Amino acid sequence: MELALLPFLVSLARASPLGTCSSDSCGSDSLSLLQSRSPLTGRTANVSEATTAVHFLYTVGCNHYQLVQAVVLDHTWREAGNAGRLTRIVVNCEDEKSRAMLDTSPLRGDRRYAVFFSEGDLMEVPGKNDSYPARGRPYAIMQWMKAAKPREPVVAILDPDF
């Protein structure tokens, strides 16, 4: 289902006539950012270095379903021609076999891509005998920020189950 979204986005990129977007959403060539990056437009746009100043990241849990979502996002990110870097943050993945599984990606070997494994049970609510799954995401991102110290001024948080 997620792969069906890519042709739709490309059709949107083609639908906007040249020169009809506002100055803050178009480059000097009158192409929107999506149009300028689409390999299907047949154009090579001058995308400024500012577009590489974005670090994209997303979080996933440690299971097969989350791996499928992650692989689709990685593939889509590459096919869209995104600039910048992409990091997959994996939450609550303790054993080596699971870590190896969640390290799988079509972006393996791309210097702009990384996988970060958070430490500890971030879903556990301290002082309570309770677990809250949504708690893991912000704490995992915080761990990554401290460890990676991203150099980009903008960090964009994506959701793999788009």
pLDDT in 10s for each residue of the chain, 162 residues:
344 444 444 443 444 344 444 454 455 555 554 444 444 445 444 445 555 689 999 999 999 999 999 999 999 999 999 989 999 999 999 899 999 999 999 999 999 999 999 998 877 777 888 877 787 888 899 999 999 999 999 999 999 986
Contact between residue 117 and residue 99 where contact means Cβ atoms under 8 Å apart? yes
* Residues 6+ away with beta carbon under 8 Å from 91: 59, 60, 61, 62, 118, 122, 123, 136, 137, 140
From the list 33, 74, 56, the residue with the least C-alpha distance to 154 is 56
What is this structure's pTM?
Answer: 0.67
Contact between residue 137 and residue 145 where contact means Cβ atoms under 8 Å apart? no
pLDDT of residue 19: 43
pLDDT of residue 46: 45
C-alpha span between 13 and 8 (Å, rounded): 9
pLDDT of residue 130: 81
Q: Does the domain made of 50-162 have the CATH classification 3.40.50?
A: yes
pLDDT of residue 13: 41
pLDDT of residue 102: 96
For the chain, which residues make up each domain, given as ranges?
Answer: 1-47, 50-162
